[in-house]
Structure 1
Amino acid sequence: MKNSQLKAGAILSYVSIFLSSVISLAYTPFMLRLMGQSQFGLFSLTASVVGYLTILDFGFGSAIVRYTAKYRALKQKENEYNLNGMFLILYTIIGLITAVAGMILYFNTERIFGAKMSFSEIKIAKTLILLLVFNLSISFPLGIFSSIMNAYEEFVFSKVINILRIIINPCIMIPLLLLGYRAISMVIVITILNIICLLINMWFCFSKLKIKIYFKKFEFGILKEIVGYSSYIFLGMIVDKINWSADQFILGAVSGTVAVAIYSVAAQINTYYLSFSTAISGVFLPRLTAMVAKNASNKEFSDTFIKIGRIQYVIMAYILGGFLLVGQDFVNTWAGKNYSSAFYIAAILIVPVTVPLIQNLGITILQAQNRQKFRSLVYILVASINIGISIPLGKIYGGIGCAIGTSVGLILGNIVIINIYYYKKIHLDIPRFWKEIFIMTIPVAIAFSFAFFISIFIGGSGYASILIRGLIFTVGYIPLMWFMGMNEYEKNLFEAPVRKISRRLGFRS
């Protein structure tokens, strides 16, 4: 295992997320004003609807990582290369199915959204759907190379390519927006950059990793095993899509593009929040698969689960506290007062989702142990409840009502039921996890209360006010978490990069 790649991959994930967030925070208000609520709503709605087709991955992406890592550990190169060929065939077929499904969606766009959209909006929406479906259809067969890179724990190269894409995208889009181009141009740029990055990953796999693709033998026995493994991941993907995309679809049907645009701003904030927790857990599947192969004990899994959860909580609690403190002023300044209610929608979403985010290594453990069945089945029920609540509340309260429906589902499934399952069936030490998280919450609560009290005496609004209040929270949070919340391992984890940089700059011997 490549420890340096694992650490560097996690660090570069945070760099990628940070850059993406900063660029998007600066770029999005500009984009909103030039595109307008209608065009932005159309882009968000079509992206959300076409995004449902990503479930056609069927969970095979995780299967590629797991089984490639397994064959590499066993040094079975022939099986590994046959696996590559089998997945390339499967994903090519999936790409074709995606194209057919996309065309069905294209020809039914007016029937689905005609009641709340004008003729010109329908026309633009159909063009966006065609472009997005093309992008997705190509991404399926080419995407196997990204999974192979993850299985080889080659995280640095893929993260660097992603960082470059994040930087290049606005550099191209800003001039186009200034020239009068809107949503269609945005999707064209996204598609071109995505295909270029996928082709670069393919080049890396063939030229650097020296992988091969064999079509000698289609192993139906292995395929059956993989389908069994992937099927519950697939169900989990459906639930995630429903939980995070259904609200925009519902609002598009019952409220129109303006409501979708407002909700999309909140959803974008939520997406940033989600991404900060997966930077660490996202690189652990090969490592945990090896632990399963070596028959690691329940205590080893619990220790890893708690260790990663604590690190994630240090980061997520800081982001959550800061957002609740300055979020309303931030949304009004960043997106505009027309999007003011996006703060309440985002808050309703991110407060409950914090718990599954600091526990998302549990999902990776389930995948490594091939025990996703219960989680997937429970989440199907939760998704049904989510939709059942969101539709009537969406009609009455708009985006806030839909967010409440999603939040109720999160609390029921992702917190209450899954924690019981982790404890009773997976034998993770959940009581110890919550005891440690509770202790770490004390400095968070003190820092937030202190900053909130001081903020009462700070007048004004805008970025200056946001920055001042954010700094006050930061000044309280860092020392309180350092001395009251963090253990020696965590302190060393944060100190190590600083010491390394200091030595290279000549500040320390």
Structure 2
Amino acid sequence: MVREVNQLKIGSLLSYLQMILGAVVSLAFTPVMLRLLGRGEYGLYSTVTSAISMLSLLDLGFSSGYIRFYAQYREKGDQNGIARLNGFFLLLFSGLGLVALGCGLFLTSHAELVFSRGLTAEEYATARGLLRILSVNLSCMFPMRVFGNIISAKERFIFLRAVHLGRTVLSPLVMLPLLLMGYRSAAMVWVTLLFSLGTDLLFAWYVLRVLGEKFVFRGFERGAVRSLLLYTSFIAVNLIADQVNWNVDKVLLGRFRGTGEVAVYAVGYTLFQYYMMLSTSVSSVFTPRIHRIIRQTETDTAARRQALTELFTRVGRVQLLLLGLAATGVAFFGRAFILRWWAGPEYGGAYPVALILMLSATVDLIQNTGIEMQRAQNLHGFRSLVYGAMAVGNLVLSVFLCRRYGALGAVAGTAASMLLANGLAMNLYYHRRCGVDVLHFWRSVGRLCRGMMIPVFCGGALGWLVRDAGLGAYLGAIAVYTAIYGASMWHFGMDAYEKELFAGPVRRLRARKPIQ
């Protein structure tokens, strides 16, 4: 139990360290990359990566299915069943990798499906080269995915997060000198491929040599296969919806408005990605715990509802503490940051893109533990249907709006569909079917939000005062705002658990005696 708690705590800390260092490296790397590539090639690169990312939906929810079945076999102590499960999933993901390679090479040969206008012959050649390399990368990632799933299922979060941390920091540091040497976007995708292969091989070594996992490639029960397909079918719909919602805007902009507009959207989306990471780096370590709660409370509905509601609320409040600081900070200081200190004046449209995405996704991001709660109870079908409808609505709205309003129109379609799906439909479902007291959750969140009133007022004033100031005054205003936010949330928003969560490590560090 102690080791499990340490894995969760240290894994969470490493996740945040990865996020912080990744943000710092990216914030330093992105403006250099934008200037070396130019708006057109950066937009080309972003469109290609979005198109290839959509092929990752071929996972079809099998990664989540692996964790669910692994937990069942481990609960029974069935090591032979785990070995057969490992072998089956390695074969399954290998087949999916071949399908992904075929789809990627098809896109490579028909790049006009992604870019319908405005590209020169040289740009088409660049696009095909990027598509080819990224297709190979994706096809290799699929069979190796099972090793990361095993590490996650066994809750070895320290190793998992440490490897991702190293990759996050080292990858841009390798890309930068290659860009300076003139290798442009091709160098970036080659580095992506090499680091992906290195990470996957390291995971494979850890699983085979350190964890000693076995792989048996026959004997997996047909009944289990049917159960797996039934379980993952709705997850697959959800994954398709997610890929549409998060990648279709850039693909549509590339097709209807050109790569320059994609570049503006991509800069705003880059900031939004770090916003999402604030949330998911907390919730991702709770997946095994959620499945364990469900298994241990199969005969006690009241205990299950209490445990799920407590976890849902506690994690959501901590996520909102962090997201609230990030979203309000971007609202008050983000425009000057993007225009004056980071991307440059030609990317001014990225500010509303980032802010609209952040605000519209906040409800979903403070409730994302609920996704795994649905899956653990096999109740994820409704969410998949809702998100499928959301994806269709988003696609229709975005096609119309992006043609007329560019990046701002595309993000407006995404925001409207997210608010309807997450703000209304999913909250009703969590409350009525998933064993979560959503009314209790929102009452608790409302009490937390009281602490945001003073920071919002002060942040607006500070942002106005430093809108044309120098870098020193600008950074000073951000530091003052962060202090005001922390003090206000401490006194008017946070509960005893959250105060201990933040103050406990500091107090323990101070209590340590110096080495004599």
Shorter chain as normaliser: what TM range? over 0.9
Match in the other structure for 1:12: 14
Q: For 1:397 and 1:462, how far apart are their aligned partners in 2?
A: 33
Shift in alpha-carbon separation, 1:461–1:241, aligned structure 2, 3 A: farther
Contact 2:48-2:131 at 8 Å conserved across structures: yes
Q: CA deviation at 1:362?
A: 0.6
Q: Which range moves more in the overlay, 383-392 or 492-501? A: 492-501
Q: Which amino acid aligns with 2:149?
A: S
Match of 2:371 among 336, 349, 363: 363
2:412 is aligned to 404
Give, in whole Å, the separation in 2 of the partners of 1:217 and 1:153: 26
Corresponding position of 2:300: none
Distance 1:243 1:466 in 2: 34
Q: Give 1:397 deviation, angstroms.
A: 0.7
Q: Deviations over 1:267-303 (max 9, x none)?
A: 1111111111011211111111111111152111111
Distance between the aligned counterparts of 2:467 and 2:379, measured in 1?
53
Q: Secondary structure at the match of 2:117?
A: coil
Which AA in structure 1 matches 2:343? A
Which region of structure 1 is more displaced relative to structure 2, 183-192 or 213-222?
A: 213-222
| Residue of structure 1 aligned with 2:128, choices 111, 126, 129 | 126
Q: Which moved more, 1:31-40 or 1:167-176?
A: 167-176
C-alpha separation in 1, matches of 2:182 and 2:512:
47
Q: How high is the sequence identity, in percent, across the aligned residues?
A: 34
1:448–1:473: 8 Å Cα contact kept in structure 2? no
Q: Name the structure 1 match of 2:335.
A: 328
Give the equivalent residue in structure 2 for 1:41: 43
Quote how far apart the aligned CAs of 1:466 are.
Answer: 3.1
Code of the aligned partner of 1:265: V
Aligned to 1:386: 394
Opposite residue 460 of structure 2, the aligned amino acid is: F
Matched residue of 2:211: which SS? coil
Please, which runs of 5 or more residues in structure 1 have no aligned partner? none
Which residue in the other structure is 1:189 paired with? 191
1:471 CA displacement = 1.4
- Structure 2 partner of 1:494: 502
Counterpart of 1:426 in structure 2 is 434
Shift of 1:144: 0.6
> Is residue 448 of structure 1 aligned with residue 450 of structure 2?
no
Aligned to 1:166: 168
The equivalent position to 1:339 in structure 2, one of 336, 339, 347, is 347
In structure 2, C-alpha distance between the alignment counterparts of 1:36 and 1:208, rounded to whole Å: 45
Taking the aligned partners of 2:45 and 2:502, their CA distance within structure 1 comes to 39
| 1:77 Cα deviation after fit | 0.3
The aligned counterpart of 2:202 is 200
Shift of 1:374: 0.2
Alpha-carbon distance between aligned partners in 2 of 1:20 and 1:126, rounded to the nearest angstrom:
29
Task: Please report how far the alpha carbon of residue 496 of structure 1 lies from its aligned counterpart in structure 2 after TM superposition.
Answer: 2.0
Q: Once structures 1 and 2 are overlaid, which stretch shifts more, 47-56 or 435-444?
A: 435-444
Q: Does 1:101 align with 2:103?
A: yes
Give the letter for the 1:238 counterpart.
Answer: I
Partner of 2:385: 377
CA distance in 2, matches of 1:385, 1:68: 36
CA gap 1:112/1:367 in 2 versus in 1, 3 angstroms? same
Partner of 1:252: 254
Does structure 1 conserve the Cα–Cα contact (< 8 Å) formed by 2:333 and 2:463?
Answer: no
Q: Is the 8 A contact 2:114 2:251 kept in 1?
A: no
Q: Secondary structure at the match of 1:415?
A: helix
The answer to whether the Cα contact below 8 Å between 2:275 and 2:358 also exists between their aligned partners in 1 is: yes
Taking structure 1 as the reference length, the TM-score comes to: 0.97
Kindly report which structure 2 residues correspond to 1:71-90, keeping only aligned pairs within 5 A, or say none.
Answer: 71-90=73-92
Q: CA RMSD in A?
A: 1.5
AA in 2 matched with 1:435: R
Pair 1:51-2:53 in alignment: yes
Contact 2:269 2:354 in 1 (8 A): yes
Q: Is the 8 A contact 1:59 1:233 kept in 2?
A: yes
Q: 1:237-294: per-residue Cα shift (whole Å, max 9, x none)?
A: 1111111100001101110000001100011111111111011211111111111111
Cα shift at 1:465: 3.9
**The residue matched to 2:35 in structure 1 has which SS?**
helix
Relative to structure 2, which stretch is displaced further, 458-467 or 493-502?
Answer: 458-467
Counterpart secondary structure, 2:77? coil
What residue identity is the alignment partner of 1:331? I
| Shift, 1:504, TM fit | 4.3
TM-aligned CA distance change 1:121 to 1:459, over 3 Å: closer
| 1:404-463 Cα distance to aligned partner (Å, 9 max, x none) | 000000001011110011112223111111111112112112112112124433363453
Match of 2:318 among 311, 317, 324: 311
What letter matches 2:226 in structure 1? Answer: K
CA contact (8 A) 2:272 2:357 kept: yes
Aligned partners of 1:230, 1:505: CA distance in 2, in Å? 52
Matched, 1:416 2:418: no
- 8 Å Cα contact 2:16-2:281 kept in structure 1: yes
Contact 1:128 1:184 (C-alpha < 8 Å) held by counterparts = yes
State the one-letter code of the partner of 1:323: V
My pick for the range that moved more, 69-78 or 84-93, is: 69-78
In structure 2, the residue matched to 1:466 is: 474
Amino acid aligned to 1:144: V
Which of 139, 142, 155 does residue 140 from structure 1 map onto? 142
Q: Name the stretch that deviates more: 15-24 or 290-299.
A: 290-299
CA distance in 2 between counterparts of 1:238 and 1:428 reads 26
**CA distance in 1 between partners of 2:504 and 2:168 (Å):** 27
- Residues 501 and 319 from structure 1, CA distance in 2 versus in 1: closer, same or farther, beyond 3 angstroms? same
Partner amino acid for 1:303? E
Matched, 1:349 2:357: yes
CA distance in 1 between counterparts of 2:470 and 2:237 reads 43
Check the 8 A contact 1:66/1:289 in 2, yes or no: yes
Do the aligned partners of 2:56 and 2:138 also contact (CA within 8 Å) in 1?
A: yes
- Farther off after superposition, 411-420 or 490-499: 490-499
The CA deviation at 1:117 is 1.4
Contact kept, 8 Å, 2:373 with 2:434, in 1: the verdict is no
* Distance (Å, rounded) in 2 between the aligned partners of 1:467 and 1:501: 28
CA pair 462-163 structure 1, distance change in 2 beyond 3 A: farther
Question: Gaps (5+ residues) in structure 2?
Answer: 298-302
CA contact under 8 A between 1:451 and 1:472: conserved in structure 2? no
